[in-house]
Chains A and B, each alone.
Chain A
Amino acid sequence: MFETVITLEQFLQASIDTLYMVGMSLLIGSLVGIPLGIALVVTRPGGILENKIFYSILNPLINIVRSLPFIILMVAIIPFTRMIVGTSIGTNAAIVPLIIFISPFIARLVENSLLEVNPGIIEAAESMGATPFQIIWHFLLPEAFGSLILSITTATIGLIGATAMAGTVGGGGVGDLAIVYGYQRFDTFAMVTTVIILVIFVQIIQSTGNALARKARKE
């Protein structure tokens, strides 16, 4: 019943590729997205470093990138990807659009997390004569930490979905297997297995995120 041409090695390799793409784009995406999210919060009207010009450029820019579905974004920036990594096929090539996709998403999630922080805390910080950097570092980020972990968790799961789409341009990973074997060759076993692997990934990431967030919130 479960006749398949895929080997165990292929599954392993695909899982590693997926984790690699998710890990790399999450790391670089966070390095870009978290500062952008902070920038959105502090420069917004009424923020601690209010800056109308900066905010009114950054805010719509993030919306523009966010409004592109990943599959379109990926194809649209192929020339750019080629310029950066020299090719538009493969795992490394997939990471470029993944970063561009996830950074603004992380920025929005971080923005939401930071906006949840009680404004009274910021007022207390200002009354102590804290500098804007100190307010961010000693007040905003620690108070939002639990919520930030959940935001990154959501971003990670979003990335797993996106890496599966990267499979359509030969990005590799579990999604690639599902499309090349499961969909194009009617290999039910490959399809079911990839679905199970993806479900397991998501479950592990979500429960780890929840546990870390609970710990951060001292519950």
Chain B
Amino acid sequence: MIEMKSVYKTYKRKDVTTEALKGIDLKVEEGDIFGVIGYSGAGKSTLVRLVNYLERPTDGEVIVDGQVLNHLSDSQLRAMKKQIGMIFQHFNLLESKTIFDNVAIPLVLAKKPKEEIKQRVMELLDFVGLREKAKSYPRELSGGQKQRVGIARALASNPKILLCDEATSALDPQTTQSILQLLKRVNQEYNITIMIITHEMSVIQEVCNRVAVMEAGEIIEEGSVLDVFGHPKHPTTKNFVKTVIHNSIPESVKRSLKKTGDSKVFRVEVKGEVASEPIVHQVMKAHDIEVNILFANMTEIQETTLVIMYLQIAGEASAIEKAVQFLKDKGAGVEEVVE
């Protein structure tokens, strides 16, 4: 649905050149909720603006719904933009217009007949749960309600893609939750591909199925949310994952850990169905070992359970080896932790 091929974006101001994006390759499939996470200045806002060509790449190709944007004329680009809705951190609603008129704007621009506009706008306001606010003005609404209006407005022209630029960053955690649930519904009920820019890992965890981590204008890690959360590779990714999942042995446990010659510590990661099986019990029963759970954490991502445990396994070397193999056969990811 969205594809970028070695995209560069450089800003030149007088003698200062800033490289905002340095060779981005990216693919977002139809139906994805694709998250892009990074600290401020990582280039994620520039990245999302390339998709609807609010920013033009200095080099490289941006392909949306099969069309190479670089080759389109201004009027073709405007037609393309109607296929892409966008919501913003600060909502960007027109203060001078009612909620109804705000949602109606894309339809007015497309010169739709009045009756059709009225029907569509009320349908959208119903969808976001703000029908009774049709005649209010944005200043009378809360932040969460304003973002709902933003979503309704973005959906008015029946887009295939919805871009969310820090759409929940100005909202409190509870309101963020309700907006994220709404985005999930947009994805499922309207089958709209969503691209979310955020600096909050919890947002990715809540709604995304794929994630790209950005740093200094590059994508440093990309994959399914389950994989990236389970196995973050880059230090920055690890830091982001740490904000939502505790996946390391607490210091106090580490200190009290008795290092004995015949015990080893393993990081065991279990996903999905396997997570509901009593594997710790099974491995102890089948092998002549002792298992000490140093740390365990269970997280739900994409309606799949992700369990991360640190197990201290004591016993004869061969027994430990067999136990590890048993866990691996069960589908767990096992790594020895060398302190």
Do A and B come from the same complex? yes
Interface residues of chain A, those whose CB is within 8 Å of chain B, are 118, 120-121, 123-124, 126-131, 134, 138-139, 142-143, 145-146, 216-218
Contact of A127 among B84, B90, B137 (CB under 8 A): B84
| Closest chain B residue to A128, Cβ basis | B106
B95 CB contacts on chain A under 8 angstroms: 143, 217-218
| Closest chain B residue to A126, Cβ basis | B54
| Closest chain B residue to A134, Cβ basis | B109
A143 CB contacts on chain B under 8 angstroms: 94-96
Nearest chain B CB to A47 CB, angstrom units: 15
- Determine whether the beta carbon of B54 is less than 8 Å from that of A127: yes
Nearest chain B CB to A132 CB, angstrom units: 10
- Determine whether the beta carbon of A129 is less than 8 Å from that of B81: yes
Contact A142/B81 with A123-B54, A128-B106 known, Cβ cut-off 8 Å: no
B105 CB contacts on chain A under 8 angstroms: 128, 138
B54 CB contacts on chain A under 8 angstroms: 123, 126-127
Q: Is B287 an interface residue (CB 8 A)?
A: no
Interface residues of chain B, those whose CB is within 8 Å of chain A, are 52, 54, 77-82, 84-86, 88, 90, 92, 94-97, 105-106, 108-109, 137, 139, 157, 163
Contact of A129 among B80, B96, B137, B139 (CB under 8 A): B80
A124 CB contacts on chain B under 8 angstroms: 86, 88, 92
Contact A129/B94 with A120-B88, A138-B105 known, Cβ cut-off 8 Å: no
| Closest chain A residue to B137, Cβ basis | A218
Beyond A120-B88, A124-B88, A142-B97, list 13 extra A-B contacts (CB 8 Å). Answer: A121-B94, A126-B54, A127-B81, A127-B85, A128-B81, A129-B78, A130-B78, A130-B109, A134-B109, A138-B105, A142-B96, A146-B96, A218-B139
- Determine whether the beta carbon of B88 is less than 8 Å from that of A138: no
A217 CB contacts on chain B under 8 angstroms: 95-96
B92 CB contacts on chain A under 8 angstroms: 118, 120-121, 123-124
A120 CB contacts on chain B under 8 angstroms: 88, 90, 92
- Determine whether the beta carbon of B94 is less than 8 Å from that of A128: no
Interface CB pairs A-B, < 8 A, 24: A118-B90, A118-B92, A120-B88, A120-B92, A123-B54, A124-B92, A127-B54, A127-B81, A127-B86, A128-B82, A129-B78, A129-B79, A129-B80, A129-B81, A130-B109, A134-B109, A138-B108, A138-B109, A139-B94, A146-B96, A216-B96, A217-B95, A218-B137, A218-B139
**Bound: A114/B108 CA distance, A:** 22
| Closest chain B residue to A130, Cβ basis | B109
Nearest chain B CB to A78 CB, angstrom units: 44
- Determine whether the beta carbon of A142 is less than 8 Å from that of B78: no
Nearest chain A CB to B118 CB, angstrom units: 18
| Closest chain B residue to A139, Cβ basis | B94
A131 CB contacts on chain B under 8 angstroms: 78
- Determine whether the beta carbon of A129 is less than 8 Å from that of B88: no
B139 CB contacts on chain A under 8 angstroms: 218
A216 CB contacts on chain B under 8 angstroms: 96
| Closest chain B residue to A218, Cβ basis | B137
- Determine whether the beta carbon of A145 is less than 8 Å from that of B86: no
B94 CB contacts on chain A under 8 angstroms: 121, 139, 142-143
Which 7 pairs of residues, A with B, have the shortest CB-CB distance?
Answer: A129-B81, A129-B78, A120-B92, A124-B92, A127-B86, A142-B96, A129-B82
Nearest chain B CB to A19 CB, angstrom units: 30
